Amino acid sequence: MPDDMARPLIRGRGDKGGSRCLEASASDPDALVVGVVGTGDFSRSLARRLVASGYQVVVGSRNPKRFMALFPEEVEVTSQMEAASQADLVFIAVFPEHHSTLAELKPALAGKTLVDVSNGLRINLDGPSNAELLADMFPESAVVKGFNTISAWTLQVGPRDGSRQVFLCSNCSRAKSAVMQLCRQMGFVPVDKGLLASSLEMENLPLYLFPSWRLPVLCTLALFFLFYLYNFIHEVLHPFVKSGKSVFYKMPVEVVNVTLPSVALVMLSLVYLPGLLAAGLQLRLGTKYKRFPDWLDRWLTRRKQLGLCSFLCAALHAIYSLSLPMRKSARYKLANVVFKQVKEGVQDSWVDEEVWRMELYLSAGIVALGLLSLLAITSLPSVADTVNWREFSFIQSTLGYCALAMATVHTLIFGWNRAFDPAQYHFYLPPTFALVLILPLVVLLGRLVLLLPCLSGQLRRIRRGWEKTRHIRFTLPEDGCHNGLEDISHV
């Protein structure tokens, strides 16, 4: 087996310079010759991937001798005019502001397929797109928009998982089919986005910065700020005002550690609350064919992001909790307690109730974090593609409610009998865990209500197409009537 590592990435080409002829094209005249206009990072990665996929590649450059050494030996690097003349399909891999320099190639590109891979510098909502402008510049060529959402790194290492999809659109179905075939040969999955009018949307896709994450992240930050402020007042400001005791050292770790599980539990409740609201709305309307309100629709589409934010807060809470004994303040407190017990002659400080409470508290928290981890892993596209819809629904719904229930139990055990201790109500404010439990208990109670046979059966029929204001009437063919749905008011 030859040693691939000993082979240089860039092979020597001799001293002749200039363009090199495609030897394969002489032996196989029917083979598709792919041209690439441009010599940037994307062009080099694209040429390597095309060569690895078995295509003959010719690259057009304004200075072939300068960039020849950057391409594989199998690639011919020549002038733009010669590359446009030799190629059957041409990738336009130059920045859109330089498209005007290609005007002299119009005769050589007439009747050929051009693939525009460019993107803009900012989101363009008004149009026209770069691809539409290119189509106007080359009216005798068939322009296909594609590969603009694929990075040069993805082309170099090959398609993997979520990077497999390549969006394509064009007004010429023949040209689009040819590029689709090329995508499959390269190992990608082509996705037809319709006519060239869709190119504006495609060019905007790489420029969006987490559009579906804005609301969940803002919600997480807002909840964190509110709970942190509440815990600061409750745990830090109260002892300072009432007894002059300074415990501001709690702000970086202890207050944060109390805030994180509060945010995690509320965010997890917000994942399942919109499903309950949607089910209640369907039961009230008696149909599934009426659209949800826009706010509920957006909420339903953001549940994955809300759940991942909840998982992040829960994971950070676990890390903070493991770090609590490492703090100097914890060691000083422990030493003071031991010294006090020795001074008072306490032989055994074991409290059975406190031991059981902590054991159950930690166990419920570990199980809840484990279930949340499973939900987060299953939400990954590479994992979700390996399970069917029933398995995915079981994990995200059934196990999700189990995670919410265990997290609620975790919080309830933490509260234990503290909710009934007046000393916990600083400034007459209830402790944080009492406030946090409201929403998850409402969600869990709502889920139990929907599991009642009278409601679950009705909801199942509605989701299978039944409507309460219409019914199905079956009639025999000889009656001269049509079977179908009729309004009850007409019966």
H/E run at residue 168: strand 165-170
279 pLDDT band, cuts 50/70/90, is very high
Predicted structure pTM score? 0.78
Q: Which residues contact 322 (CB under 8 A, 6 or more apart)?
A: none
71 residue type, one letter: F
Give the pLDDT score at 138. 96
pLDDT band at 1 (very low <50, low <70, confident <90, very high): very low
pLDDT at 369: 97
Cβ distance 323 to 270 under 8 Å?
no
pLDDT, tens only, 147-164: 999 988 888 877 665 568
Predicted confidence (pLDDT) at residue 274 exceeds the cutoff of 70? yes
pLDDT at 471: 56
Q: Which residues contact 29 (CB under 8 A, 6 or more apart)?
A: none
Higher-pLDDT residue of 475 and 361 is 361
Could you give the C-alpha distances from 482 to 473, 476, 479, 488, in angstroms and in order?
9, 9, 9, 16
Q: Please, are residues 181 and 115 in contact by the beta-carbon 8 Å criterion?
A: no
Token pair belonging to 251: 């702000």
Q: Which residues contact 329 (CB under 8 A, 6 or more apart)?
A: 249
Beta-strand relationship, 484-487 and 33-37:
unpaired
Q: Helix 400-415 crosses helix 352-378 at what angle (to 10 degrees)?
A: 160
pLDDT of 477: 55
Whether pLDDT at 6 is above 80: no
146 contacts 230 by C-beta, under 8 angstroms: no
Sheet strands (E) in 410-477? 470-473
Q: Residue 317 is encoded by which pair of tokens? A: 């809470």
Helix, strand or coil, per DSSP, at residue 169: strand
The sign one gets for the Cα dihedral 40, 46, 52, 55 is negative
Categorize the per-residue pLDDT at 339 as very low, low, confident or very high, splitting at 50, 70 and 90.
Answer: confident
Give pLDDT, residue 157.
79
Say what the pLDDT of residue 161 is: 53
- Which pLDDT value is given to residue 382? 79
| Residue 134 scores a pLDDT above 90 | yes
pLDDT at 173: 95
Q: Select the CATH number that applies to the domain covering 213-464 from these four: 1.20.120, 3.40.630, 1.10.20, 3.30.9.
A: 1.20.120
CB atoms under 10 Å from CB of 228, counted, come to 18
% of the chain residues with pLDDT over 70:
88
The model's pLDDT over 423-462, given as tens digits with 9 standing for 90+, comes to: 889 999 999 999 999 999 999 999 999 999 999 999 999 9
CA dist list (Å): 70 to 18, 41, 89, 148, 295: 14, 10, 22, 22, 52
Cα angle 330-331-332, degrees, rounded to a multiple of 5:
90
Mean pLDDT on 23-32: 48
The alpha carbon of residue 435 and the mean position of all alpha carbons in its chain are separated, in whole angstroms, by 31
What percentage of residues in the chain have a pLDDT greater than 90?
72
pLDDT digits (tens, 9 = 90+) for 181-208: 999 999 999 999 999 999 999 999 999 9
Report the Cα 36 to chain-centroid distance in Å.
32
Residue-range domain boundaries for the chain: 33-207, 213-464
Is the pLDDT at 481 greater than 50, yes or no? no
Average the pLDDT over 202-228 and give the result: 94
**Residue 144 forms beta bridges with which residues?**
115, 170
Averaged pLDDT for residues 68-81: 93
- Whether 33-207 shares its CATH topology with 213-464 is answered no
User: 169-178, 222-231, 419-428: which range is least confident on average?
Assistant: 419-428
Question: Which architecture does CATH list for 33-207?
Answer: 3-Layer(aba) Sandwich (3.40)
pLDDT at position 28 over 80: no
CA separation for the pair 154, 46 (Å, rounded): 10
CB–CB of 114/134 below 8 Å?
A: yes
